[in-house]
Amino acid sequence: MRFRGRGRNAAPPADAAPAPEPAPAGPPPVLVIDALGRKCPIPIIMLAERIREVPVGQVVAVLADDAAARTDVPAWCRMKSQDFVREETLQQGGWGFHIRRTY
């Protein structure tokens, strides 16, 4: 027997408080590279050109909305021995990739 309005997918009440935004999982980036609207490998090329602008041990963020960047950025980090810290989903669409410079 199934009851209406009591299922798991029921909408929250209108007066419910909005869910809090999750706290960032790591240090804030020193440099943000905006590659939104550009196809891969352009975000990778922009990252390779600018990663030397941040000190060793600091984090650079690459913003991209091309789905190929989700595999290309971590692969580039493995090839270049840089630390891929994390990926976050952006509110406007796309992702933010955080990379720590190791050398």
Q: How far apart are CA 38 and CA 68, in angstroms?
A: 11
The proportion of the chain whose per-residue pLDDT surpasses 70, expressed as a percent, equals 76
pLDDT tens-digit map of 48-96: 999 999 999 999 999 999 999 999 999 999 999 999 999 999 999 999 9
Nearest-CA neighbor of 44 among 62, 67, 59? 62
pLDDT tens-digit map of 21-56: 555 677 899 999 999 999 999 999 999 999 999 999
Q: How far apart are CA 13 and CA 38, in angstroms?
A: 40
What is the pTM (predicted TM-score) of this model? 0.76
Are residues 73 and 47 in contact, defined by beta-carbon separation less than 8 angstroms? yes
Catalytic residues: 40
